[in-house]
Chains A and B, each alone.
Chain A
Amino acid sequence: MRVLEAGEESVRPKKSPRARAEARLGWMMAGPAFLIMLSVTAYPIAQAVYESLFSYRLTEPDAREFVFLGNYATIFSDSVFWWALGVTVFVTVVTVAVELVLGFALALVMHRALKGLRGTLRTSILVPYGIITVVSAFAWYYMFDINTGYINEWFSWVPGISSDLDWFSNFGTAISVIMASEIWKTTPFIALLLLAGLAQVPDEMVEAAKVDGATWWQQMSRVVIPHMKAAIMVAVLFRALDAFRIFDNVFIMTQGQHGTEVLSMLAYKTSITRLEIGMGSALSVVLFACVLLICAVTVWGFKVDLASGTDHQDAGKEK
């Protein structure tokens, strides 16, 4: 993430009045965007933390009662929460792992494809990226649905698939289709980030490895992938955070039935459907804490240096 150093080359000789005028102008220009971002996120999350300390249903405003950490105690002792957390983690791990492999393959295809084909490839791959998640969810739903779908007919030769298989009536099949739609929609993002990473691997090094008789696999694992480590980790972090917040496709395909209730779905149902604001706020806070935890673990655990970024050439130039 070069972003953190975005303006470093604009350092000027410091003259106090001028520096102050510059600071004032800078904040006048950057301030509105900054304020809006903060007020739409920091304020609501503070509000959520506060509300989470109350037992409060919107339908019974008079029964509002301060319960301190009571809602959290209920959440952490409820198997519904642990199941939702488990499903969410499962979806995150599986989709990110599959997307990384698939995205790398797509990136390689785009990187090595003939010049004339690259444009077509990139255009087609951007369609899943740009398409509305809800539309993608419906597309996959109608493919598999027992009434409108044709997958059962096409794959009836596969053991376990027959024309009366209802994909959305049990956990294993439902979560598979949900994950498939998520993978389809978001792999292009990873592929494009990895493609940018691939472009930074020095050609000479790959050529040198080839001359030295390295196999394709050795070229990849010893030369290409180590050079792309930073790009890979940034892609994984962003996708993991995104996958952990999965909601739209679950809502469309199963509404969280048959064990497919992910954390976001649980929080949504609690506060918006059942109007249990106190409990829903507590779940929101827990969800937010999970996202922070993933971020912290990736950044510190895997040493993703968000401040130095992946653009080696660029970084080299500036230092």
Chain B
Amino acid sequence: MAAPGGNTTKIKVGWAVLFVVTLVYALFPVFSILMTSFKTPGDLASNTLLPASFTWQNYEEIFVGGAQTLFLSALVNSIGITLIATAIAVVLATLCAYAVARFDFPGKKVILASALAVSIFPVISVVTPLFNLWRTIGLYDTWIGLIIPYLSLTLPLSIWTLSAFFRQIPWELEAAAQVDGATQWQAFRKAIVPLAAPGVFTTAILAFFIAWNDFVYGISLTSTEAARPVPAALAFFTGASQFEEPAGAISAAAIVVTVPVVILVVLFQRQIVSGLTQGAVKG
């Protein structure tokens, strides 16, 4: 399936058009909100895609201006909560997937089936009881109060993806290394870790995307800047005055939280695609 059949100009032009259409489809809304983030307040209502003059005003507003307390604390919360949840999820999922891939024990299928079941669970269905429980035991509006539900979002996908990766590792290598005189730990570290690391890394990226994207838990289980993550904070942005559109500041904040996504996607597209399809199709 390498080159499209034939070399005629028509086919080449056709492919170029398809290529451009796909790029525009994928990137246009991002470009659109990027342009909104560069508009001056007067420009926001001009009903054009491009700003009349580019300004950093909206970024100043969220980093050093009036929306600073709202945005910066939300950004710190988002980064902190997401990274901690991702790290815990990946460690627990690695242990779990390793056990599932290498050991034969009763209940193994139950674990994998419940990971599947948890992943289809409507978040809204569990948020009311969690809201109640968190208020009773004091986890409401705290980092831990979000990290725990984020684990239930990230663990199922992490377990699938990693089980799929671990199934493909030639575990005989470990025994072979031991025969060659390596200790069990050396064998594991030298032979297995380099093979397993890419899978673990890919899983971490996918788990990060999921936790970074959360909105329902963010708006339901927090009430102040103590724990509110960025997606939830965006919904609470208001303009400097009642009559001012918060669109500029919201767009700038939206672009800031999109930057990590774009960086990860650009650097690791190959890994993300293989992780996604392994986890969901084979996994």
- Chain A residues with CB under 8 Å of B126's CB are 40-41, 44-45, 48, 284
Query: Is chain A's interface secondary structure helix, strand, loop, or mixed overall?
Result: helix
Residues in B with CB closer than 8 Å to A161 are none
Q: By the criterion CB–CB under 8 Å, are A271 and B128 in contact?
A: yes
Q: Which residues of B contact A22 (CB under 8 A)?
A: 103-105
Q: Does B69 contact A (CB under 8 A)?
A: no
Q: Which of B115, B216, B250, B254 is within 8 Å of A3, CB to CB?
A: B115
B137 on the A face (CB < 8 A): no
A211 at the interface (CB under 8 A from B): no
A1 contacts the other chain (Cβ, under 8 Å)? yes
In the complex, per-residue mask of B256-277: 1 if CB is within 8 Å of any chain A CB, else 0: 0110011011100110110011
In the bound assembly, the distance between CA atoms of A195 and B112 in angstroms comes to 25
User: Cα distance A285–B115 when bound, in Å?
Assistant: 20
Which bracket fits the contact residues of B?
35 or more
Contact B215 A248 (CB under 8 A): yes
Other-chain contact of A277, B121, B132, B215, B262 (Cβ < 8 Å): B132
- Asked whether A109 is an interface residue with its Cβ less than 8 Å from the other chain, the reply is yes
Least Cβ distance of A5 to chain B in Å? 8
Do A2 and B215 touch (CB < 8 A)? no
Assess whether B98 is interfacial by the CB under 8 Å rule.
yes
Interchain CB contact under 8 A, A127 and B262: yes
What residues on A are CB-neighbors of B280 within 8 Å? 193, 234-235, 238
Given contacts A41-B152, A44-B133, A139-B33, contact A306 B116 (CB under 8 A): yes
Query: Would you call B160 and A117 a contact (CB within 8 A)?
Result: no
Indicate if the CB atoms of B215 and A29 lie closer than 8 Å.
no
CB-CB under 8 A from B99, the residues of chain A are 25-30
Enumerate chain B interface residues (CB-CB to A < 8 A): 1-4, 15, 18-19, 22-23, 25-27, 29-30, 32-33, 36, 44-45, 47-49, 92-93, 95-109, 111-118, 120-133, 148-149, 151-152, 155-156, 159-160, 163-164, 166-167, 209, 212-213, 215-216, 219-220, 230-231, 234-235, 245, 247, 250-251, 254, 257-258, 261-262, 264-266, 269-270, 272-273, 276-277, 280-283
Chain A interface (Cβ within 8 Å of chain B)?
A: 1-4, 6-7, 9-12, 19, 22-23, 25-30, 32-34, 36-38, 40-41, 43-45, 47-48, 51, 58, 106, 109, 111-115, 117, 119-136, 138-140, 142-143, 145, 147-150, 152-154, 163, 181, 184, 188-189, 192-193, 195-197, 203, 231, 234-235, 238, 241, 244-245, 247-248, 251-252, 263-264, 267-268, 271-272, 277, 280-281, 284-285, 287-288, 291, 295, 306, 309-311, 314
